[in-house]
């Protein structure tokens, strides 16, 4: 799942739990598994393969908001919260993003073969879920369901950088087992990468299409490759329709899990 989707889920969880947000850095903790791999020393496996229900010392309590990200990803990929970390790719995964993406697999293989970046079926299955995840983020950007999400994310990034970075780097260094300096460097890169202008351009499509053309291994200067990618993205949007029932289901699953008790135990002010 992408940035806006994770931000929507956490915002909804906090609203339903009646928790007042006192430190917006919790929204950056929540998306950091996807942000930190911007650094060459950090791989997504390092940020996503931590125990979902590990004990967190009080001084690192904001790590709970990282774990919420992982629970949401589990549901998106596997259709359930996984007590044990899944380390192997499962092409038959039954989570929403893979089930919804099934009809994209052949078009993705055709696209990649057409533009000189052929992939096998397993890779096409993985990429199909990427298109679905992107589509959910775009839906949130384009509809009232996502009102305020970009501003919320931008405010959280800016205030984390200004006020909370020492605590942020210490907490994530403990959680992921990397040096604090690496966390700091990753956040410096992220501040440059996730600017308001770039996020708006990405969600509107100005940058989204060429970026995914490059991710898929094609040439973003090729107009046909860009047009073909736009078709794949349009198919993704058609497949998901209105994803908010699914998103509410994710929130419900997290609230009904043992983790809900941990969240409530943080007190009536989220982030304190």
How many structural domains is the chain composed of? 1
Q: Is 270 helix (H, G, I), strand (E, B) or coil?
A: strand
Confidence of residue 203 (pLDDT cuts 50, 70, 90): confident
Rounded Cα distance between 272 and 268, Å, is 9
* Cα–Cα distance, 8 to 195 (Å, whole number): 18
pLDDT band at 267 (very low <50, low <70, confident <90, very high): very low
Q: Which of 6-20, 219-233, 237-251 has the lowest mean pLDDT?
A: 6-20
Instruction: Give the pLDDT band of residue 258 (cuts 50, 70, 90).
Output: confident
Q: Residue 200: its pLDDT value, please?
A: 84
For 69-78, 141-150, 258-267, which range has the lowest pLDDT when averaged over its residues?
258-267
In terms of phi and psi (left: phi > 0; alpha: psi -120 to 50; beta: otherwise), the region of 56 is beta
Worst-scoring range by mean pLDDT, 54-63, 197-206, 235-244? Answer: 197-206
Q: What does each C-alpha distance from 91 to 60, 96, 98, 125, 248 come to in angstroms?
A: 35, 13, 8, 6, 25
Tens-place pLDDT, residues 83-120: 889 999 999 999 999 999 999 999 999 999 999 999 99
Beta strands in 46-134 (DSSP E): none
Mean pLDDT of 56-68: 94
Length, in residues, of the chain? 272
Kindly state the average pLDDT of the residues 202-213. 87
Q: Angle, nearest 10°, between helix axes 223-240 and 105-114?
A: 180
Distances (CA, A) of 239 to 111, 133, 212, 235: 18, 11, 18, 6
List all residues 6 or more positions away from 103 whose beta carbon is below 8 Å from its beta carbon.
235, 239
pLDDT band per the 50, 70, 90 thresholds, residue 272? low
Q: Of the ranges 95-109, 204-218, 237-251, which one carries the lowest mean pLDDT score? A: 204-218
Tell me what the mean pLDDT of segment 73-79 comes to. Answer: 98
Instruction: Give the C-alpha distances (Å, rounded to integers) separating 144 from 10, 11, 93, 148, 179.
Output: 17, 14, 30, 9, 40
Helix, strand, coil % in the chain, rounded to nearest 5: 70, 0, 30
Give dist(CA 131, CA 136) in Å, integer. 9
Cα end-to-end span (Å), the chain: 26
Which pLDDT belongs to residue 263? 59
- Average pLDDT on 225-233 reads 98
Across residues 55-79, what is the average pLDDT?
Answer: 95
20 forms bridges with which residues in the sheet? 269
At 116-155, the pLDDT tens digits run: 999 999 999 999 999 999 999 999 999 999 999 999 999 9
pTM, to two decimals: 0.94
The set of residues, in sequence order, having a beta carbon less than 8 Å from that of 159 and lying 6+ positions away, is: 23, 24, 25
**Rounded CA separation 26/24 (Å):** 5
Give percent above pLDDT 70 in the chain: 95
For residue 108, the enclosing domain spans 3-270
């Amino acid at each position: 799942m992408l940035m806006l989707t994770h931000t929507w889920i956490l915002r909804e969880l906090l609203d339903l739990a009646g928790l007042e947000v006192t430190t917006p850095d919790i929204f950056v903790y929540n998306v950091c598994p996807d942000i930190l791999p911007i650094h060459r020393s950090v791989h997504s496996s390092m940020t996503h393969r931590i125990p979902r229900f590990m004990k967190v010392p009080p001084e690192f309590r904001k790590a709970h908001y990282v774990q919420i990200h992982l629970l949401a990803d589990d549901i998106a990929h596997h259709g359930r919260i996984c007590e044990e970390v899944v380390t192997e790719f499962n092409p038959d995964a039954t989570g929403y993003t893979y089930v919804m993406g099934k009809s994209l697999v052949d078009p993705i293989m055709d696209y990649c073969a057409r533009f000189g970046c052929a992939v096998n079926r397993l890779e096409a299955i993985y990429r199909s879920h990427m298109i679905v995840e992107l589509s959910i983020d775009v839906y949130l950007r384009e509809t009232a369901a996502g009102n305020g999400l970009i501003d919320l994310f931008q405010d959280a990034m800016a205030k984390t950088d200004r006020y909370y970075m020492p605590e942020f780097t210490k907490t994530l260094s403990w959680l992921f087992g990397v040096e604090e300096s690496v966390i700091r460097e990753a956040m410096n890169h992220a501040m440059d990468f996730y600017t308001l202008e770039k996020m708006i351009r990405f969600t509107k499509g100005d940058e989204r299409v060429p970026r995914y053309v490059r991710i898929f291994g094609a040439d973003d200067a090729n107009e046909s490759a860009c047009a073909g990618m736009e078709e794949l993205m349009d198919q993704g949007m058609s497949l998901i329709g209105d994803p908010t029932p699914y998103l509410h289901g994710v929130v419900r699953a997290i609230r009904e899990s043992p983790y809900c008790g941990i969240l409530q135990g943080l007190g009536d002010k989220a982030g304190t």
